[in-house]
Structure formats: C-alpha cells, structure tokens
Amino acid sequence: MTRTLATLIAAAGVASCLSSDGPATSAPVPGRDVSAARVMLASYRAIADRYIEERDFRRLTLETVRGAAALDPELKLDDLGASLRLSAGDRVLLDRAAPTSPGDARAWAGVAAEMVEQLIGATPLMRDTTRDRVVKAALDAAAKQLDKNSRYSDPQEARDNRFNREGAGGIGVTVQTENDATVITAVQDGAPAALAGIKPGDRIVGVDGERVAGKPMRDVVRLLRGRIGEPVGVTVFRPSAGAELGFVVRRALIIPTTVSLERRGNIALIKLSGFNSGTTETLRATLQKLKAEPAGALDGIILDMRGNPGGLLDQAISVAELLLDNGLLLTTDGRHPDSRQTFRSGSGALLEGVPMVAIMNGRSASAAEIVGAALQDRGRAILVGSASYGKGTVQTVVRLPNEGELTLTWSRMHAPSGYAWHELGVLPTVCTSRFGGPDTLSGELDARAQAVRSTLAEWHATRKLPPERISRLRATCPPVDDMPAKDLDLAERLLKDRQLYARALNYAAGAIAERR
C-alpha cells in the first residue's frame, strides 16, 4: 500500500475534513511580514498542480481580485477583454494585459498577485485593513470557484486545524462557555491537567496571571496552548470549594481523544468521533483490551460513528486495517499522479470473528464513510442509521508562506465494490428512519428484504450518478443529524440475535453481488 501523503478527509460544514497534509511551500522568515503577492503565487501554484480538475484561471483571477476589492466599495475590477483594469473611484490603480490562455496558471498568477498586492493600502479604508484580511478575502473568493470542500484558512485558523490533526503543546482539558465563564467539562486521563489536580467543573479565571473574564473561549484556549515542556500558570474557581486554586502545569503533547469505550452488558460500544494522528493507536489499545477479556465476555461490538466528520486519510485506512483482514479498502483517483492510489489491508485485524454493527448518520462524513463503506462491502459489519453525509473526495492541505493553509480537493474515493459515494453517501442496511424499533425488527427486515436488496444494488450500481437520481436514492433513507436511542437499541438487537444478524448481513452481501 502506497502512502505518498498524509491526507485529510472531512466535510465542509460538518466540523472536520479528509485531507492530506502536502508539503509546506517555502516557510516565512520569522519576524518578517510575508507579502500578499507571495501568498497568491503559492496558492495558484498549488491549484494548478494539485486540484482535481483543470481550472479556468481567467475566471478564477477575476473572482479572486473582486473578492479582495469587495472590502471597499470604492474599488472596482473591469474586464476589458484584452486587459484588466483595477480602479479606486476615478483613479486607475493598474491596467494589465490579460494573458491569452485561460489555462496559463503562471501568467494569471502574476496578474492576481500584483493586483491583490496593489489593493493593500490603495484607499483610506484599505490602509486600515490588515494584509491577512485582504489575503483571506481574495482566497475565500478563489475557493468558492473550486468546490464546497476547498477552502482557505488564515494563520490563526490554520494553527487550530493543525492542533486538531496533529496535536500540540497543551494541558489536556476540554472547555465550554457557560454564562460567560470558561468551564472545564473534561480532563484527559494522564494529561498534565489531570496530574496537577485540575478537575471537571473547575472554571478557568486566569492564565499566567492574566484574568480571562470576558475573553472568548477561543482566546483562553490559545493562552493554555504553547511550546511542549513549558510551564503555564492556571487559576481556577472550584465551586465545590468556593475558592480559587492556582496550578503550575507543564505543557505536553496533547492529541484530542477520538475513541471512547462503554460497556452495555456483553456488548462493547466504541464511540469514534474523529480521525486524528492518535486515533488508530487508541483504537488498537481499546480492541486489545477487549481481546484480553475472558471467553464469552464479549457478544459483539457497536462502532458508533454518528456525527464523525472525518479527519486524516491515513488514519481512516489504518483504522480499517484494524477491523478488516486481507482485502481492498479504498481506491482514489484524480488529476495528479500521486492521487491515484489503492489501499489494501493485511492480516493485522483484531477481533475478526466478533459480530459488529456500525452506526452512521447524516453527519458521518469522509473518513467515517471510508470505514463504513469498507465494513459493509466486505461483509464485516451491518450498517445501521441513516444515509451518511456524502463526502467522497480527498483534500490535500498546502501550507502557505504566511502560515495559512489552502485545502484543495484532489481525488475521488471509491468503495471496495467500486461505487463512488460523493454527494450520495453510504446507505445503511437497516435504515432507522424506516424501521420501527428493536421489537419489530425481525418482521420488518423480512418484509422489506427485497426492497433493501434492490435499493442497495442500485446505490452501488455506478460510479457517477446525475443529481436527480442521487436525490431520489437519498430519499429512500433520508440523512438525519440527530442520534436517536433507537439506533443503539436496533444495533443491540441485531447483535443479540445471531440469526437476525446473519440475515441482515446477507442483504448487503446479496446487493453487492447483484451489482457485480
């Protein structure tokens, strides 16, 4: 299996993404501002090289420059055919010949870079606007010309993105805002905060001697993060003690927890909330813990991926390898040669013989869909829930000279049976919006067996579907964003009744066989 990139996969608007961290473009010189022109040139270079489809760079440039110019109503870009004119009121700022070919990325990059740079300080309003804001306006407009999953992240947002993917120096707490206070809702086991004695329910009132009352939660979180190994002073108010307590905590590498285990009798409920750099090893430890239990102590596994927005492609693949032995997991294809890959599992699956049900909903996206589709196609698990989000593309993340990031769609994904789920989603075998409850599941499965088989077969029938057919198919099991208790009840019912489990498993297998 070839992995040339660590790739990101998550859904825009769903809180995360499937992507690959591409190599950074030339890093900025510390302490020196990076020009807007340099950022624009790097962005165009990335789009020309990595984006999944060839682009009309004339149109892209017009929208990019107009996006930045929209910061001041006085500014205007005129397309005169053979030339482009950038004006501020009656004053011409730039008049440049338009490159003859719309596909000449290098030439159009030069025009875009010069014009965006010219806008900085061009008017009194623009002189009061930061360079970062001008660049963001330009690249937000550029990304809108690509697709809904491509986007620009400014340096601040990019740092948060990298923390979620890779981890960074922190103390290991989860916080939320309650009545203008920053309240610790969870403390990560073994993290510096836990070792220091900080507890859930504590309210953060100061960081390094600076009072944080009234500060946005995001700013408080940034104060807590920093260089690994450096100390940070944290003052909390503990309601149970009725007093403020001070702690000095040494920051450590913190990777947000994405795997949790809960026992429901002899059934293990594993909640998988995302795919970051720590997901596979945490899941491996969880599965090994279950494997070490006495014989008969485990009747089945529920893998709950509802609300999981995705994350890193390599983690989706390595998670699937923990669950599936010897076979195809995923294929990807795009314009760049490195985007065409085939991923297969070896012989390292854990708990291979233990029955499994995976639960998904309308917010399960990208990396979660990779795992769900592979489990269903390979006959390893029954999928329960609703149609998933339908994010079947991979994004590559390019770090820009200003330390911002450009996230670009660069390949499409195909399940082991060959279908592409982009916009379509993954269809569960047991659609909870169509089934009553655990007590009626057996009869309902039999009554709907042929309908389930035929719908699954059609769902898997082709690699590319027209929008109207996608809408019709998704309506057979409409995506839902909530997490009803019925999902878990049906999953448990399937795992406790082995004959029922086998029947449901065969519905998907039969549909895939018909498709082939």
For the residues of 175-231, what is the DSSP string, one character each?
Answer: EEEETTEEEEEEE-TTSHHHHHT--TT-EEEEETTEE-TT--HHHHHHHH--STT-E
CA distance 461 to 420: 10
Residue 132 confidence (pLDDT): 93
pLDDT in tens, 57-73: 999 999 999 999 999 99
Residue 9 confidence (pLDDT): 44
Name the band, by pLDDT with cuts 50, 70 and 90, for residue 512.
low
Residue 445 confidence (pLDDT): 77
CA distance 8 to 404: 16
pLDDT in tens, 16-50: 345 554 433 333 333 346 899 999 999 999 999 99
415 pLDDT exceeds 90? Answer: yes
User: Is the pTM for the entire model greater than 0.75?
Assistant: yes
pLDDT in tens, 258-299: 999 999 999 999 999 999 989 999 999 999 999 999 888 999
Residue 255 confidence (pLDDT): 84
> 14, 24 in Cβ contact below 8 A?
no
> 210, 220 in Cβ contact below 8 A?
no
pLDDT in tens, 299-357: 999 999 999 999 899 999 999 999 999 999 999 999 999 999 999 999 989 998 899 99
Name the band, by pLDDT with cuts 50, 70 and 90, for residue 457.
confident
pLDDT in tens, 384-399: 999 999 999 999 999 9
Average pLDDT rounded to a whole number, residues 436-457: 76
Domains of the chain: 28-159 (no CATH), 168-254 (2.30.42.10), 259-511 (3.90.226.10)
CA distance 353 to 32: 58
At 4, phi and psi to the nearest 5? -85, -20
Pairing of strands 181-187, 341-345: unpaired
**Residues present in the chain in total:** 516
Residue 58 confidence (pLDDT): 96
Residue 10 confidence (pLDDT): 42
pLDDT in tens, 358-382: 999 999 999 999 999 999 999 999 9
